[in-house]
Amino acid sequence: MKSICRNIAILLISTVIGGLPSAVRANPSSQLLNVNEIAQTQMSAVDFYNRGVDKLDAGDFKGAIADFDESIRLAPNDVESYYNRGYARHILGAYQDAIKDYTEALRINPDYANAYGNRAYSHYLLKNYQEAIADSTEAIRLNPKDANVYINRGNARDDQGDTKAAIEDYNEALRIDPKSARAYYNRGLAYNRLSENQKALEDYTQTLALDGRFAEAYYNRAITHTRLGNGKAAVADFQKAADMFRAQGRTENYQNALDAMKNIQL
């Protein structure tokens, strides 16, 4: 039996990438510099910061980091420069460096919920599950209406083996955002782990009703159909998953779906 794929919740950032929140831009009230420093220097820090945000928008993450480096050099207590540099480092896979930046942002602003949420996600990818849970919990305390943080904490709890607690987090995410395909998907995965396959099937079906291009949901629903003895339905879902994986250039996933179909007895 092929392993079930996990989908990770989208990282919260301070710039527009994949429909995420708008970039945090400097403005006249931004506490970038000491009031005794000259206006020209202040503008230079602001310019570096905003250029870094523009580079995030354009996907130039290394360039963004270089600009945030300069913004921080001129304004060492600007929380957003650390936050956005942490995001850029995360995207480039430098999770430990991202954690350092989020930690510095939290030193400056201990109530920065998104910094806790993003640091939790970096910890999660490093398999520091306890730290991910702790940071997610603090993010939830500061902003209890963020469905994505509940999903992230649920994923960490599930991977740590506390699947029932994970389901509680996915339930809360769905209470906040009933149209979250990721919450339904990950709850379906959790139900699979508990062998509650009918519930998993229903969650994958709801996932696909919300996002019909979710290849992993077709793949996992196919596995669930197999466990429930629904051979024809499993083949149809594996074929849909295979077609999507191929279109996305995901060769290994495509081959896994084809191989799985060959093992189904109709």
Indicate the class that CATH gives domain 1-110. mainly alpha
Quickly state the pLDDT bin for 5 (edges 50, 70, 90).
Answer: low
Q: What is the pTM of this model?
A: 0.83
Q: How many residues does the chain have?
A: 266
Q: Which CATH number fits domain 127-177: 1.20.120.520, 3.90.1150.10, 1.10.274.10, 1.25.40.10?
A: 1.25.40.10
Residue 153 φ/ψ, nearest 5 degrees = -65, -40
pLDDT tens-place string over residues 60-84: 999 999 999 999 999 999 999 999 9
> What is the DSSP code (8-state) at residue 194?
T
Fold of 181-266: 1.25.40
pLDDT tens-place string over residues 161-207: 999 999 999 999 999 999 999 999 999 999 999 999 999 999 999 99
Decide: 61 and 91 in contact? Cβ < 8 Å: yes
Decide: 68 and 88 in contact? Cβ < 8 Å: yes
Q: What does the mean pLDDT of the chain come to?
A: 86
Asked if the model's pLDDT at residue 233 lies above 50, the reply is yes
pLDDT tens-place string over residues 9-28: 334 322 222 222 333 444 33
pLDDT tens-place string over residues 104-120: 999 999 999 999 999 99
Rg (alpha carbons) of the chain, rounded to whole number: 21
- Separation in Å, CA 103 to CA 30, 110, 198, 247, 264: 20, 9, 42, 39, 49
- Give 136's contacts (C-beta < 8 A, 6+ positions apart): 116, 117, 120, 149, 150, 152, 153, 156
Give the residue-averaged pLDDT of 47-56: 94
Residue type, 167: I
Write down the pLDDT at residue 213. 94
Domain ranges in the chain are: 1-110, 127-177, 181-266
Asked if the model's pLDDT at residue 146 lies above 60, the reply is yes
